[in-house]
Amino acid sequence: MVWLSGVRRAGKTFLSQSLEDIEYFDCELPRVRRMIDDPEAFLKDNRGCRIVLDEIHRLERPSEILKIAADHFPNTKILATGSSTLGASAKFRDTLAGRKEELWLTPMTTADLEDFSGADLHHRLLHGGLPAFFLGKQLPEKDFQEWMDAYWAKDIQELFRLERRQSFQKFAELLMAQSGGIFEAVKVAALAQAFNLPIANGGGWPHHNMHLQAAMANGWRVEFHFEMWGVGDKIYKEPPAPVNGWVTLPDTPGLGLEPRFDRLEEFEEK
């Protein structure tokens, strides 16, 4: 079983349809979704086949059919495609650990430019890395907006039930405007405060994020993920740690973090 993820219009559908000897099912079609309402019957009808389930996140229970296939139909090969955000959504409750191989189809990289004679980095940066946009002769500004609208409607809103579309688009515009530069977190936090919105740093590196959260009136909480917390403990000397749910920030210069240079020597470029 292969899980092919990536942003919209990265080429997942084109790639999956180009495979030989496949049974292709577009899960955006109501007819296909009704067909898969009974996943066991569907898999029996396609036993031993090579199946593509495109846009699988459109199913009500996308992980169910994949789990049944992995456990009870090992001779049926499945390529499932979907949004790169699906794994974080409530729809995908089973991680299928050990049952699938994951592939991430990225937008075009700099190395991909070699396959397009005459294409330069300026064209790539202006048109973006999605194939349909990159190949366009004119700057597809209207297509950019349609892509954002589809991303909001089919990924963000449908998978995560978020509201405030205008706030989301404003934030996305800020990110794109600062792409390639330094992300001015204080500036973005101030804008969020004007709309009475809190800020939060997801992911790891709590030692780097805690100062921003403490400095801003709309700062929320600092997430101490176990793995990155451990990394910080290894590369810094006695970094701050939570005690009874609270963190006391250091008052030494900078971030108050003193690197363990002996631990960093193995990563030094020679």
Query: Which residues, other chains included, contact 173 with Cβ-Cβ below 8 Å and sequence gap of 6+?
Result: none
Domain segments of the chain: what residues?
Answer: 2-106, 109-161, 165-267
Which of the two residues, 93 and 43, has the higher pLDDT score?
Answer: 43
Element (DSSP H or E) covering residue 77:
strand 77-83
Cα separation of 182 and 203, whole Å?
19
What local confidence, expressed as pLDDT, does residue 241 receive? Answer: 87
What local confidence, expressed as pLDDT, does residue 51 receive? Answer: 96
Residue 200: CB atoms within 10 A of its CB come to 12
DSSP state of 243: B
Tell me the pLDDT tens digit for each residue of 155-179: 777 666 677 777 777 777 777 777 6
What is the residue-averaged pLDDT of the chain? 83
Cα separation of 121 and 17, whole Å?
29
- Among residues 135, 130, 126, the alpha carbon closest in space to that of 148 is found at 130
pLDDT at 50 over 90: yes
Cα separation of 51 and 26, whole Å?
11
CATH code reported for the domain at 2-106: 3.40.50.300
Lowest mean pLDDT across 48-62, 106-120, 209-223, 249-263: 106-120
Tell me the pLDDT tens digit for each residue of 124-144: 888 888 888 888 888 888 888
CATH code reported for the domain at 165-267: 3.20.20.120
What local confidence, expressed as pLDDT, does residue 88 receive? Answer: 45
